[in-house]
Structures are given as C-alpha cells and as structure tokens.
Amino acid sequence: MANILIFSELNKGSIKPVTLEILGKLNGQNAEIAVFGDLADEQVKVLAENGAAKVHKLKGDKVDQYSPEGYANALHSFISTQSYDYVFTGATSMAKDLFPRLATKFDAGMASDCVNFLFEGDTFSGTRPLFAGKCLAKVNLQGPKPHFVTVRPNALGMPDSATAGAGAASDANVEVGEIRAAIKEIIASASEKLDLTEANIIVSGGRAMKSEENFSIINQMADVIGATVGASRAAVDSGFAKPSMQVGQTGKTVAPSLYIACGISGAIQHLAGMRTSKVIVAINTDPDAPIFTKADYGIVGDLFKIVPIMTEEFKKILS
C-alpha cells in the first residue's frame, strides 16, 4: 500500500471535484489531503466519506494568496517532514505552474495530465496522451520519492462508491521563506460558470456562429443544461468569442461528460482539445465534416434552427 498525498485547490472554500475523482481511484491506498488555509467541517466530512485518511490544513505567512514560489516552498517544507510515495493533484492551470517547480525541489519524477492510472501494490502506472491525443502512453516513475502526478479533471469520473476513511483534520504550519515574485491581485472572472477545464457539460460554437451576438443561442442552451460555453479557434480568431473560451491544442484541453459542438468542422487542433469527452454531439450542415468521425451523435442541419429546438426540449425534460 502506497502512502499518498493529494493537494487540493479550493474554489470558494470547496474542494474541487477532481480531488474526489482521484480519491475514488485511489480506493485501497492510504490517501491524505493537503489544502491551504481553513476547510469547513462539511468539506472534511465529504473527503472522509470518499476515503481520505487525514486532512492537513497548511497554514503560515504569505500563503493566503497563491504564488508559485510561495506555495512550492510551503508544500516542500510540509512534504519533507512526511514519508509520502506519491503526491497527486488535478491538472489545473495552477498545478501546471506549481507542480513542475515542486517536483524539481525534490529532484523527483513527474507524470503530467494523466487520464487514467492504476496501482499494482504500491507501484504506479499511468496513462497520458501524446501528440495531441493521437496516442496514449503508459508511464512509470523512477528515482527519488515522492513522485508527482497530475490528473486531468473529469477524466476519471466520480466514483460509484468509496470506502470511507477517518478524515481527521489537523493544522500544519509551513515555512514559506523568501518570495522573490509575488502575485499582488487575482481578478476573478465575471462568469459564475465553471472553467472549461472543470466543466462537466460544454457547448461550443465555431466559425459558423457568424458573430459574437449569435453566441446568445449557445448561451441560452448552456443556461438550461448547466453547461459552460466554449469556442473553436476559428471563432476566437474571427472575434466571435474570447480567447479564454477556446478549446483545442492551442486553447484548453477538456474532458466533459457531454460536449456539444455547434458549427465546428472538427479541425485537428480542436479535436486534440476535446477528443477525451465522454459523449460528443455534433451539429453541422456539412455531412462530411471531420467532427462527425469523432461524434457519438451527429445532426446534419442548420445550428440556428436546431439549437433553439434542442433548448426547448431540454427545458421540457428538466422541468
């Protein structure tokens, strides 16, 4: 049995879902949680119900706001006092900034953006996409421990059941040391919807949307089904959508349970960013569009007619 630490980011005081995905997959291993700052008792209970053996609340000077140097120093000081074999986290924007720096401090190996993994005893074997998702590589980690692993959000899915752990919570003081570059301010997005990388349902529009105003029909559908709105690179380059909405190799890589592509032809760079979606629905007037080769369900037709019809049907079903 491996000793494992999962570093969990908090979203408005709540654990991010990818933490529970990882916990579910680690069922049977000794898994502990580390968070910065306080965590409500109800959140600690959720972690315990999903298998967490302990919850460590890391506290110290200059950890109230994220900085890559500060968080790396703090986690290094905490992990160095423990005997973990592996340290996991979600492959979020923060983790992509933080974990390579942290792994370097330990001169340890790292497997990034894994979409699956398993343990044989205490030996890790991970699966991660290569060449824009065209193939999957099996990876192992060697060298000094702890090893570091990041897991793509939504890739594992939530566990059907889990063995409850003790979930005892305790405070741990950490040393941050000197921070040479500090983040002065983080401005939150005006949108209350989940980031694309964490969304369970995504509705995306392509160049066929024709204008920024026409994205309103995509937004209406997204509001009904609780989805986040994305866009293809063509739509972003045309000025129809913001860069933060871009899905693809040069945008954000996503793995939702449902991906609805509206007026997206299916260029290779776009497919690279969403091909791990569980169910893909494509709407396009071109029956030979490449997106249909990856779609589970395809609708050949005008999105400006089909999307409003789908929105109304969703309203009926959900009411």
Burial grade of 127 (CB within 10 A; 0-12, 13-18, 19 or more): middle
Q: b/e map of 295-318 (b: 16 or more CB within 10 Å)?
A: beebbeeebeebbeebbeebeeee
CATH code, 103: 3.40.50.620
Q: Does residue 157 sit within a domain?
A: yes
Question: Tell me: the pLDDT tens digits for 148-163?
Answer: 999 999 999 887 766 7
Question: Tell me: the pLDDT tens digits for 125-144?
Answer: 999 988 877 789 999 999 99
Q: Does residue 186 sit within a domain?
A: no
Distances (CA, A) of 75 to 9, 23, 50, 71, 275: 13, 19, 23, 6, 33
Q: Specify whether 14 is located in the same domain as 154.
A: yes
CA distance 109 to 140: 9
Segments of the chain with pLDDT less than 50 = none
Percent of the chain with pLDDT over 90: 73
Q: Does residue 185 sit within a domain?
A: no
Residue range of the domain that includes 278? 196-318
Starting from the edge strand earliest in sequence, which strands make up the sheet with 228-231, in order?
228-231, 201-205, 258-262, 279-284, 297-300
Q: Does residue 178 sit within a domain?
A: no
Q: What is the mean pLDDT of the chain?
A: 92
Q: Specify whether 69 is located in the same domain as 155.
A: yes
